[in-house]
Amino acid sequence: NKPVCSCNACFTGPDCSHFIPHCAAVADSGNPLFLEPFWMQHLASSALVVVGWHQMGYTYEDSTYVSKELEKLVRRVHATVGNAVTGNRFIIFGAGSTQVLNAAVFALSPENTSSPARVVSSVPYYTLNKEQTEYFSTEKFEFEGDAHTWRNRSDTSSMNVIEFVTSPNNPDGQLNKAILHGPNVKTIYDRAYYWPHFTPIPAPADEDVMVFTLSKLTGHAGTRLGWAVIKDETVFKRMMAHMRLNSMGISKDAQLRAFRLLKAVLEEGTEIFDFAYQTMKSRWDTLARTISMSSRFSLQENNPQYCTFYSKIRQLSPAYGWLKCEREEDKDCYAVLEAANIIGRRANQYGAEGRYVRLSLVKTEDDFDILIQRLNELISKEDGAK
Ligand code: PMP
């Protein structure tokens, strides 16, 4: 039997074939279902059966929470793609990169000080950097907003600063670099999107703390498996201590599933990357062509760069369109789109002005098609249509 994909908001019925007219294009979440068709083509190599008695204990044979087999596989995937240096580095897993990012903030905060670490990120920043830091805020760290405003401050040399650098960035896909440097500055590189799916790979990333996730690599966001590649042993140990206290380790079932999926990825050569890149590139090209018909909207910059994975110069194929409303009066770009039956994500979630909206390009093909349809309808009604 042909498996049935997830239905999007515009379809219903057992095989998602019943179209709901006038439905909204829901382009808000980053659910990476664009990879579903790839896995539907790889049923046998990705399937997993786990018997009841298997891996019941808290830890593995070496008394750790980390599967050494998965760790080896992760290193091999990075070596194949050339997107991260993993030799002489420690690897830690967590419940999605969400938990790993949080563990990194705890681990990089000063242990014995009355002055908390100031956590910053450059606008537009990934929503969770702010939300999570504020929610878990302790005397050890607190969120201080836009990293740009800290660049020229003279008092930072006496403060502990943690900068989140999301590269490629969510929401705008840019290959961000750290903007704060100094003896008391620690940087967490969120590399969730540093895969050929979304960006040229100019060189293997080699930062002190780099965070990745299965969610944006294979698309298995629900497995909740992320990891960090860490240079410093003390930081690694502190992150491990956090995992022990926070969740008594890391789900072995999630690690097993990740193992199965990454093994399938490696067995297929470059197939998943080719599929993901072609899908994202084609979606980006379609979106860019659609938006170029209007003078009312624009998209983020997309300067080509050399990609070592494809040995060619290529553009970004970002997970999200960072749409800007150009007209003076369109200060609430989200509302402009909402009136046209398009649900994006508000810019204030990224610390940015309301003139921007994030549009997700990583959902199902149906989701994407409806988004383009609604954008075309909106743009064709515009006086300013080119
Ligand atoms: N970092 C970035 C930049 C993301 O966009 C996301 C998910 N949207 C995450 C981390 C968290 O992903 P997960 O917890 O599924 O690994």
- The pLDDT of residue 1 is 45
- The pLDDT of residue 158 is 76
User: Which tens digits make up the pLDDT trace of 21-53?
Assistant: 888 999 999 999 999 999 999 999 999 999 999
User: Which tens digits make up the pLDDT trace of 81-110?
Assistant: 999 999 999 999 999 999 999 999 999 999
Cα 111 from Cα 280, distance rounded (Å): 43
314 in helix, strand or coil? strand
Residue 245 CA, ligand 1 centroid: distance in Å:
22
The CB density around residue 195, as the number of other CB atoms within 10 Å, is 25
Residue 332 CA, ligand 1 centroid: distance in Å:
26
Residue 54 CA, ligand 1 centroid: distance in Å:
29
Q: Is 173 close to ligand 1, i.e. is its CB under 6 Å away? A: no
Cα 103 from Cα 90, distance rounded (Å): 14
**Domains identified in the chain and CATH numbers:** 11-40+270-381 (3.90.1150.10), 68-267 (3.40.640.10)
Closest approach atom of ligand 1 to CA 213: 16
Cα 213 from Cα 175, distance rounded (Å): 17
Residue with CA at minimum distance from ligand 1 atom 1? 192
Residue with CA at minimum distance from ligand 1 atom 12? 97
Quote the tokens at residue 352. Answer: 């940015």
Give start and end residues of each alpha helix (H) in 208-357: 214-217, 233-247, 252-267, 271-292, 333-339
Give bridge partners of residue 320 from the DSSP assignment.
360
Cα 145 from Cα 264, distance rounded (Å): 40
Q: Is 99 close to ligand 1, i.e. is its CB under 6 Å away? A: no
Q: Which of 28, 98, 132 to mutate for ligand 1's pocket (most ligand atoms within 8 Å of CB)?
A: 98
Q: What letter does residue 228 receive in the DSSP assignment?
A: E
Q: Is 169 close to ligand 1, i.e. is its CB under 6 Å away? A: no
Query: DSSP letters of 76-138?
Result: HHHHHHT-B--TT-EEEEESHHHHHHHHHHHHHS-SS-SSPEEEEEPSS--HHHHHHHHHH--
Mean pLDDT by 10 residues, the chain (386 residues): 60 80 91 97 96 96 96 98 98 98 96 88 97 93 93 76 98 97 95 98 98 98 98 97 95 98 95 98 98 97 97 98 97 97 97 97 96 96 64
Q: Is 294 close to ligand 1, i.e. is its CB under 6 Å away? A: no
Q: What pTM did the predictor assign?
A: 0.95
6 in helix, strand or coil? coil
Q: Is 190 close to ligand 1, i.e. is its CB under 6 Å away? A: yes
Q: Is 192 close to ligand 1, i.e. is its CB under 6 Å away? A: yes
74 in helix, strand or coil? helix
Q: Is 97 close to ligand 1, i.e. is its CB under 6 Å away? A: yes
